[in-house]
Amino acid sequence: MYGERARIGLIVPSSNTVCEPEMVAMRPEGVATYATRILFEPTIKGLKAMRQDVGRATLELSSEGICDIIAFCCTVGSMIGGADYDKKLQHFIQDKAGVPALTTTTAVRAAFNALRVHHIAVATPYTREINELEKKLLADMGYDVTQIKGCHEDVPPEKFKNDMIGRLPPERAYQMALQVSNAQNEAIFVSCTNFRAIENIAGLEKETGKPVVSSNQATLWHSLRTLGIKDPISGFGQLLQYH
């Protein structure tokens, strides 16, 4: 049987091409992941609109109890409603599905707590508009964003497509992470479930001497720990290896 240890349901933005492959690459033996999608456009309006389809996606993943936990896999989409929005979304999914739930924001916050970090450098693939919003939202949650920089800051919002993120090589995440890290930050956050990054997390940690959290890495980590699966998973940073 696939997923004899656990089955993780993923609610994924429709144009995301990175989340599912990265989850498959990181998951331990005996854990399976299953995804459904929500129509999405990478604008602030589109990020807010995702909420209206969460109920439908949740019912699909909870049909006949096929999943043991459900994760809403969008970073800014799970924080866009304010400091407690991720918790509200988490509770909504849990109540509708009857199984534990989390969001990428919930997972990232748990990762920062486990690593005991507060001052965060953020590397993103976003536009300047979305970066400014994410910085404010993280600050509202109590984090000090020492620097934030995105690959597409000079792209007008109306010309920005999510596939532009998904096609970026993992080296771009590595380069952006090095650019934002400095003497002030305690950790590096590579934000976006569609930003390919996991191949370079361990190398970034070695080069900077700081823990690195990515959206997909944190989401899988928190899903596994919530289910009581504590296998050390090597190759994707200290969060999965030691925490």
pLDDT of residue 144: 98
Q: Do 191 and 80 form a contact (C-beta atoms < 8 A)?
A: no
Q: Which domains does the chain have, with CATH numbers?
A: 6-105+216-232 (3.40.50.12500), 108-214 (3.40.50.1860)
Three-class SS state of 135:
helix
pLDDT of residue 14: 95
Cα gap 6→137, rounded to integer Å: 32
pTM of the model: 0.97
Cα gap 238→243, rounded to integer Å: 7
Tens digit of each residue's pLDDT (9 = 90 or more) over 168-179: 999 999 999 999
- Strands 212-214, 69-72: pairing is unpaired
Sign of CA dihedral 16, 123, 236, 75: negative
pLDDT of residue 102: 98
pLDDT of residue 1: 87
Length of the chain: 243
Q: Which amino acid is at 142?
A: G
Tens digit of each residue's pLDDT (9 = 90 or more) over 187-208: 999 999 999 999 999 999 999 9
Instruction: Return the ∠ at Cα 51 (arms to 121 and 112), rounded to 5°.
Output: 25
Report the first-to-last Cα separation within the chain, whole angstroms: 28
Instruction: Tell the burial category of 65 from Cβ atoms under 10 Å away from its Cβ (0-12, 13-18, 19+).
Output: exposed
pLDDT of residue 73: 98
Please list the ranges in the chain whose pLDDT falls under 50.
Answer: none
